[in-house]
Amino acid sequence: EAQVTQNPRYLITVTGKKLTVTCSQNMNHEYMSWYRQDPGLGLRQIYYSMNVEVTDKGDVPEGYKVSRKEKRNFPLILESPSPNQTSLYFCASSLSNRVVEQFFGPGTRLTVL
C-alpha cells in the first residue's frame, strides 16, 4: 500500500530533550516536506526536500533540523524542544515539487512540557 508513515504518533517530552520524528514514504517520491498545524493557523511549512541531500527552509524553520540521506526517509529533529513547539506535525511527499498532489502522513502530536 502506497503510504507515508510517521513515528511516533504521540509524544510528550520535556524542554531541552532532543527528539526525532521519523517519516518514510514508499512511493519513490522526490519531494518531501514537514508541516506543523496549529489552531487558526492552518498548515505551515517547516522544511522541505527536493531530493536526496537537498533540503531548504520553509516558513517556520527555527528550532528544527532535517536530513535527507535516503530518498524514502525525511526525519525531523528537534535538538532542544521548547513549549512553543507543541503542535501537530505532518510529513508529506509528492512525486516532485511540480506535482501539486501531496500525500500526508497520519500526523505526530507533540507536547513539550
Partner 1 sequence: GQSLEQPSEVTAVEGAIVQINCTYQTSGFYGLSWYQQHDGGAPTFLSYNALDGLEETGRFSSFLSRSDSYGYLLLQELQMKDSASYFCAVPQYNNNDMRFGAGTRLTVKP
- CB contact burial 6-32 (16+ within 10 A = b; e otherwise): beeeebebeeeeebebebbbeeebbbb
CB nearer partner 1, residue 16 or residue 27: 27
Task: Restricting to residues 11-50, name those near partner 1 by CB under 8 A.
Answer: 31, 33, 35, 40-45, 48, 50
Output the smallest distance, CB 76 to partner 1, in A: 16
Please give the Cα distance from 22 to 34 (Å, whole number): 11
Does position 103 interact with partner 1 (CB under 8 A)? The reply is yes
Phi-psi region for residue 100, left (φ > 0), alpha (ψ -120 to 50) or beta?
alpha
CB nearer partner 1, residue 35 or residue 112: 35
CB nearer partner 1, residue 9 or residue 18: 9
Residue from 56, 79, 84, 113 touching partner 1 (CB under 8 A): that is 56
Query: Strand, coil or helix: what is 70?
Result: coil
Does position 90 interact with partner 1 (CB under 8 A)? The reply is yes
Output the smallest distance, CB 78 to partner 1, in A: 20
